């Protein structure tokens, strides 16, 4: 038996909304089989991955903390993906944002630099990420170099650069040779939104980015231009929209937001620079962007859902001795399911039995 796809003439909004849910359930079932094959109980894993984090106030806060960088990066990537441009180097832009912002934190360390430090760090983070994101964009529009490969290669370069800084010139001289910088001063630390809460201002930034993006995409010419560039590049050219300007703009936006995510994570969460500052947020955000169907509200929900897999993964490692790699494998299979589910929205699936039909 095999199946065929036939294009649908109308797409129901219900199917559009349900596709990611169906994908999520499918991914869960596949993960369950994998866990069962590993000789563990899928039900116990479901409990640790999903039920326990959702029933514990501490984990719920942690959920928002982990969702923050995912939201910031994914919302930026949604600009690129809508225009059918492939920035897959958000992980590198995140790192460079952290390096740019972190530089100021280290420069002002031990001085009485005032309240301007933190906003300046955030701004530097955005600038750093945007500049780094503009490299593949520039190479693409000026020389026609494929942006997928260059943006990805730059991830490795950025990670090595951070590794060099935190082991070399920026290492804390009093840090017992640990590869990490000094701890940021309070003036360079992103505060919590409430006393005693783990949730920092980054969550607010992410929500603001989501609202602004919803307005830009839905209500402005730029939003329309992105959609047209992605869906009908020829029509976009005839309409006089410059694809070069669009490319530069979306890479700057996505790089800037990834850079902001990087400096927010370092100043609000980690508190210092070290060789590893991300469990792969930049790549996971790709899954988040698609799971949220490139829609701002969808991304908000998707980021929370995917953040759950990070938290569940950490507790599963402790409680069930399941390796963290399971989380990454799940995120990959989830993205595959989400993309396949898109087909269910645009096509009708018809099963054909061998010899019959055709």
Partner 1 sequence: MTTFEAILLTIVTASTPLLIAALGELVTERSGILNLGVEGMMAMGAACSFAAAVTFDSTLIGVAAGILAGAFMAALFALVVLGFAANQVGSGLALTIFGLGLSGLIGAPFVGSRRDPIAPIDIPGLSDIPVVGRLFFEQDLFVYASIALTILIAIYLKRTRSGLTLRSIGENHASAHGLGLPVLRVRFLAILFGGACAGLAGAYLALVYTRFWSPGMTAGRGWIALALVVFAAWRPAWVLVGAYIFGAATVLQLHAQAAQWGIPSQLLSAVPYLATIIALLLLSLRYGRAIGAPGSLGMPFVPDR
Which positions lie near partner 1, rule CB under 8 A? 3-7, 34, 38, 86, 88, 139, 143-146, 148-150, 152-154, 156-157, 160-161, 163-164, 167-168, 283-284, 286-287, 290, 323-336, 339-340, 342-344, 347, 358
Which residue's CB is nearer to partner 1, number 212 or number 324?
Answer: 324
CB of 268 to partner 1, least distance (A): 26
CB of 2 to partner 1, least distance (A): 9
In whole angstroms, give the CA distance from residue 330 to residue 322: 13
Which residue's CB is nearer to partner 1, number 241 or number 290?
Answer: 290
CB of 198 to partner 1, least distance (A): 27
Q: Which residues contact 213 (CB under 8 A, 6 or more apart)?
A: 75, 78, 79, 296
Is 311 within 8 Å of 124 (Cβ atoms)?
A: no
Q: What are the percentages of helix, strand and coil residues in the chain, rounded to 5? A: 70, 5, 25
Buried-exposed string 177-206: b where 16+ CB fall within 10 A, e elsewhere: eebbbbebbebbbbeeeeeeeebbbbbebb
Residues β-bridged to residue 192? 200
In whole angstroms, give the CA distance from residue 272 to residue 44: 36
Is 80 within 8 Å of 289 (Cβ atoms)?
A: no
Which residue's CB is nearer to partner 1, number 185 or number 342?
Answer: 342
Is 198 within 8 Å of 61 (Cβ atoms)?
A: yes
CB of 282 to partner 1, least distance (A): 11
Cβ–Cβ contacts within 10 Å for residue 24, how many?
A: 18
CB of 163 to partner 1, least distance (A): 5
CB of 75 to partner 1, least distance (A): 17
Which residue's CB is nearer to partner 1, number 154 or number 188?
Answer: 154
Which residue's CB is nearer to partner 1, number 116 or number 156?
Answer: 156
Which residue's CB is nearer to partner 1, number 151 or number 189?
Answer: 151
């Amino acid at each position: 038996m095999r199946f065929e796809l036939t294009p649908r003439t109308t797409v129901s909004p219900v199917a559009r909304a349900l596709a990611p849910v169906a994908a999520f359930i499918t991914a869960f079932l596949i993960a369950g089989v994998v866990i069962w094959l590993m000789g563990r109980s899928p039900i116990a894993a479901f409990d640790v991955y999903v039920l326990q984090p959702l029933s514990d106030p501490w984990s719920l806060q942690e959920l928002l903390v982990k969702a923050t960088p995912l939201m910031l990066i994914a919302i930026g990537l949604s600009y690129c993906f809508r225009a059918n441009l492939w920035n897959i180097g958000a992980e590198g832009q995140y790192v460079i944002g952290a390096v740019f912002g972190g530089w100021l934190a280290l420069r002002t360390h031990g001085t009485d630099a005032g309240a301007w430090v933190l906003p300046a760090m955030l701004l530097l983070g955005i600038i750093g990420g945007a500049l780094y994101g503009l490299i593949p964009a520039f190479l693409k529009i000026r020389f026609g170099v494929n942006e997928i490969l260059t943006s990805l290669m730059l991830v490795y370069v950025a990670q090595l650069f951070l590794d060099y800084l935190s082991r070399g010139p920026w290492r804390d001289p009093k840090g017992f040779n640990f590869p990490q910088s000094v701890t940021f001063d309070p003036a360079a630390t992103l505060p919590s939104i409430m006393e005693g809460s783990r949730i920092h201002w980054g969550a607010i930034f992410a929500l603001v980015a989501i609202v602004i993006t919803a307005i830009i995409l839905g209500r402005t010419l730029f939003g329309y231009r992105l959609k047209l560039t992605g869906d009908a590049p020829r029509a976009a050219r005839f309409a006089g929209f410059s694809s070069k300007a669009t490319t530069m703009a979306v890479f700057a936006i996505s790089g800037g937001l990834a850079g902001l995510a990087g400096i927010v994570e370092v100043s609000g969460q980690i508190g210092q620079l070290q060789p590893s500052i991300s469990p792969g947020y930049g790549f996971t955000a790709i899954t988040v962007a698609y799971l949220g169907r490139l829609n701002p509200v969808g991304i908000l929900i998707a980021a929370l859902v995917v953040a759950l897999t990070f938290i569940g993964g950490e507790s599963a490692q402790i409680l069930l001795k399941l390796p963290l790699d399971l989380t990454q494998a799940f995120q990959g299979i989830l993205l595959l399911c989400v993309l396949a589910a898109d087909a269910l929205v645009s096509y009708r699936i018809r099963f054909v039995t061998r010899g019959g039909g055709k």
